[in-house]
Structure 1
Amino acid sequence: MRRALKSLLKDRKAATAVEFAFVAPLFFALVFSTIEAGWTMTQGMMLDRALDQTIRLVRLGSADAPKTQDAIRSAICSRTPVILDCRNVLSVEMVQINTPADFPTDAARCVDRSGAVNPTLRFSNGERASIMYVRACAVVDPVTPLMGLALALPKDSTGGYRLVSTSAFMNEPG
């Protein structure tokens, strides 16, 4: 028995496999977290840029500016190809701000993809020379839902997390 135990302890054939078994999960978690963070930042930046471009048209009051909530959502989605099924996962609200206390302090109202009733969104085009606050919220799925960073992201009941973009502007005087 003692001889068999000594023989087993001297055998180093599987040492590399054991080391790999310890290191590989950490390495893969790091790699997939990097991918997840990069993809999340790309989607967030594109949502910010699309909101800015769309709201610029609204702010200037140009003839081809989207004027309804659905038209603004469509304009944002046309500029955000990295958000899959954008029309169904993006919500847009726009409110007129009369005093600093009017800025929304609540969480962004996002689409509920589980099929429950979606939130009622505030939407107003505002008056000329009024301050407007716009908030867009997209619910997106993680690239690697069971590894690394994706495990730490706050998710809804369908496994998606929120990307929120905001903007404030003053309508041009009439």
Structure 2
Amino acid sequence: MNSILKRATARFCKDESGAASTIEFAIILPVFALFLGASVELGYLNLRHAMLERGLDTTVREIRLSTGFVPSYDAIRDKICDTAAIIPDCASTLRLEMKVVEPRAFVGIPATAECQNSAEDARPLRNFESGEDNEMMLLRACFKFKPIFPTSGLGNLLVKDADGYTAMVATSAFVQEPR
């Protein structure tokens, strides 16, 4: 039994037929792992953004249909977080801006979104106005998160702040119904 094992081990050690494929594997594996990590990052990013958009759209629809009800900042944020269940730590990382706009002389929300990550201290709101009857409103939600793979693949290409957080923004418009 012992001699059979020795012969098999010696035969295995002398065989060099797999040496070339080992080198190819060592070269291709990091590239494949990078593509795999980027696809996971992109899939999760897309899923979170779709849920943020859905949460914002569902909340805006509820605001439009509930005539005479002017929700607070916290009520809107909580409704978006309840609908977009996949967003982690939503209540502390989601920031909203709402502004009354004139449709005939349109001036939108500033291009840079007001975002805040959970590591920062709470800041006062830049802009959150409840509209009057028949006024057009713009509502923007900004969510900050840390990428899954922040130093490689897609996570390396995302714009990040000093703490390593990146922003995801969704915007919606609606008309304030008469009370």
Give the deviation of 1:14 after TM superposition: 3.2
Give the deviation of 1:12 after TM superposition: 6.4
| Residue in structure 2 matched with residue 129 of structure 1 by the alignment | 134
In the alignment, residue 84 of structure 2 is paired with which amino acid?
T
| Residue in structure 1 matched with residue 5 of structure 2 by the alignment | none
Number of aligned positions between the proteins: 163
| Residue in structure 2 matched with residue 103 of structure 1 by the alignment | 108
Moved over 4 A (4+): none
Give the deviation of 1:66 after TM superposition: 6.5
Deviations 1:53-103, CA, capped at 9 Å, x for gaps: 00111122347x671001100110011111100001000111101254421
In the alignment, residue 52 of structure 2 is paired with which amino acid?
L
- 5+ long unaligned stretches in structure 1: 1-10
Q: Answer whether contact 1:133 1:168 (CA < 8 A) is retained.
A: yes
- 5+ long unaligned stretches in structure 2: 1-15
Whether 1:168 aligns to 2:168 is: no
- In the alignment, the residues of structure 2 paired with residue 83 and residue 167 of structure 1 have an alpha-carbon distance, to the nearest angstrom, of 18
Residue from 69, 76, 84 that aligns with 1:72: 76
Residue from 69, 83, 88 that aligns with 2:87: 83
Q: SS of the counterpart of 2:141?
A: strand
In the alignment, residue 112 of structure 2 is paired with which amino acid?
A
Deviates more, 1:138-147 or 1:87-96: 138-147
Q: Answer whether contact 1:60 1:171 (CA < 8 A) is retained.
A: no
Deviates more, 1:99-108 or 1:129-138: 99-108
Higher Cα Rg, which structure: 2
Q: SS of the counterpart of 1:43?
A: helix
Whether 1:146 aligns to 2:151 is: yes
- In the alignment, the residues of structure 1 paired with residue 82 and residue 173 of structure 2 have an alpha-carbon distance, to the nearest angstrom, of 21
Deviates more, 1:131-140 or 1:18-27: 18-27
| Residue in structure 1 matched with residue 26 of structure 2 by the alignment | 21
Q: SS of the counterpart of 1:115?
A: coil
Q: Answer whether contact 1:111 1:119 (CA < 8 A) is retained.
A: no
| Structural RMSD (CA) | 2.0
Q: SS of the counterpart of 1:102?
A: coil
Q: SS of the counterpart of 1:135?
A: strand
| Percentage of identical aligned residues | 34
Q: Could you say if the C-alpha distance between residues 119 and 35 of structure 1 is closer, same or farther in structure 2, counting changes exceeding 3 Å?
A: farther
In the alignment, residue 97 of structure 2 is paired with which amino acid?
E
